[in-house]
Amino acid sequence: MVPLGGIPELAEGDDLARELHEAALRAGGLADGDIVVVAQKAVSKVEGRVVRLAEVEPSERARELAGPDGDPRHLEVILRESAEVVRSRPPLVISQTRHGFVCASAGVDASNAPEEGSLVLLPLDPDASARRLRARLTELGGVEVGVIISDSFGRAWRQGTTDVALGVAGLAPLRDLRGTLDAAGHELRTTQIAVADEIAGAAELVLGKADHVPAARVRGVDARGDGRGVDLVMPRERDLFR
């Protein structure tokens, strides 16, 4: 696991894959089977998923959810990104995004925003973003890598955030243990391991939130296969907590 650093501040239209490719070259290059984990915010910035607060007119609902301590314009942006509000305690909102992710503020974030008074939104389709980055990395380096677009999510019942996978390309986000046997020969009851989330969390340990390291290279993890980041969303009918 090595950080991919030295990447300049990103803006809409920048060739993020080229920045990642060059950062990886500085770190010894990419090889087939490597996984590149990229912070969501870097992807959102080059995709122009940024909203200026000054241009937002808050609704009545946004004012309610903001409470006395929140910015109604910020809450308005969160509502626009949400398919459903799951819990709220002004000004905190946990919602389900249009992709299906359940997270704080629908993933809308003011930290590391490109300018004061702006908010960064999640990519419209993180899996598509991951596929595009992967295709471009192959084009630039001639290697077959996996790509994970990660973000920091809080969890129910546990303190602190861990990074999870929003978008995935070129790897299997879930490892299926159904039918495999444990060391004593019993069938394992745990059915699936969210390896993409574990890889995203591992990468967070080397990502710098504050010093231009928006990505990491992970080597030696066998996550061969295929799948999408949205496969990590629990289907509503199986979800005991929605």
CB 148 within 8 A of CB 37: yes
Nearer to its own copies, 149 or 199 (CB): 199
Cβ closer to its own copies: 139 or 155? 155
CB of 239 to its own copies, least distance (A): 6
Return the bridge partners of 176, or none. 192
DSSP H helices in 35-125: 40-46, 60-66, 72-81
Report how far residue 202's alpha carbon sits from residue 142's, in angstroms, rounded to the nearest whole number: 26
List of residues contacting its own copies (CB under 8 A): 1, 9, 87, 89, 92, 94, 96, 101-102, 109-116, 152, 155-164, 173-175, 177, 180-184, 186-190, 192-195, 197-199, 201-202, 204-205, 209-212, 220-221, 231-234, 239-242
CB of 227 to its own copies, least distance (A): 10
The alpha carbon of 212 is separated from its chain's Cα centroid by a whole number of angstroms, namely 17
Residues found in the chain: 242
CA 85 – CA 20 distance, rounded (Å): 35
Closer to its own copies by Cβ: residue 110 or 140: 110
Q: Considering the complex, what minimum distance in angstroms separates the CB of residue 158 from its own copies?
A: 5
Structure token digits, residue 39: 């912070």
Question: Is there a contact between 86 and 242 (Cβ–Cβ < 8 Å)?
Answer: yes
Q: Which is nearer to its own copies, 123 or 201 (CB)?
A: 201
Closest approach of Cβ 69 to its own copies, in Å?
Answer: 13
Q: Which is nearer to its own copies, 47 or 109 (CB)?
A: 109
At closest approach, how far in Å is the CB of 139 from its own copies?
28
d(CA 56, CA 116): 14
